[in-house]
Amino acid sequence: MSPSPGDFPVERLLSWYEDHGRHDLPWRAADRTPFEVLVAEILLQQTTVAAVTGRYPAIVARYPTPAAAAAAPVEDLTAAVAPLGLEKRGEYVQRSAAGILARHGGDVPADRDALLSLHGVGEYTADAVRALCWDEPVCGVDANVERVLTRYFALDGEDVDAAADALVPDGRGGEFLPALLDFGAEVCTARSPDCAGCPLADDCAFAGTVAPGESTTG
């Protein structure tokens, strides 16, 4: 099965996001810069939103631009992210910043291959930055996004990345990705999806297969 936008209640998801999304996360501020988004996505790799939320404002205040981060000793960046664990990400931020400065005039590139060439930037991070910064019609697929779409469409071995990208409404990549991320974190959770209260339940293949209150690993 190849999901298409017509198969998915995009507007219901976006409406849910408008009412219930985590709009106050610091990396979602209206005046955020692409570099701040990139830093957030690097820090969020393998770390909880709650943990990053506590450290992120101080890190971007101290290193607000690629020039500032590139000029800092890597040990300083490493120390700044140490409380999050995985100190390597301090090096990722510093070396990515240096690459942005050296090859892109200090501006985070919008091109996917250029993003992927930056240190510590993988496919999810590149797609997330493109969607969040420039509303590109891509949807990074992390565990939350994969779980929601796999359940909804009963995917079984299909290419989830392609399925997710196909669902992004024109010019709304920057809403669609965080909507799916938040929905997966708050409603369609790994162990206790709230199918009874879910705004997507009408056509979800998974709805009703789990009794209220029952936990699942599906």
Please give the residue ranges that form the binding site for ligand SF4 (CB under 6 A). 148, 151-152, 187-188, 193-195, 198, 200-201, 204, 206-207
Least CB distance from residue 149 to ligand SF4, whole Å?
A: 9
> Which is closer to ligand SF4, CB of 3 or CB of 90?
3
Q: Please state the length of the chain.
A: 218
How does 75-110 read in b/e, with b if 16+ C-beta sit within 10 Å?
eebbebbeebeebebbbbbbbbbbbbbeebeeebbe
Least CB distance from residue 124 to ligand SF4, whole Å?
A: 21
10, 167 in Cβ contact below 8 A? Answer: yes
Establish whether 186 is a catalytic residue: no
Cβ-based neighbour number of residue 127 at 10 Å: 25
Contacts of 124 (CB under 8 A, 6+ apart): 41, 140, 141, 142
> Which is closer to ligand SF4, CB of 53 or CB of 216?
216
Catalytic residue among 18, 36, 41, 123: 41
Least CB distance from residue 46 to ligand SF4, whole Å?
A: 23
> Which is closer to ligand SF4, CB of 118 or CB of 195?
195
Least CB distance from residue 47 to ligand SF4, whole Å?
A: 24
> Which is closer to ligand SF4, CB of 157 or CB of 197?
197
State the Cα–Cα distance between residues 168 and 118, nearest whole angstrom.
Answer: 25
State the Cα–Cα distance between residues 174 and 196, nearest whole angstrom.
Answer: 28
Q: What are the catalytic residues?
A: 41
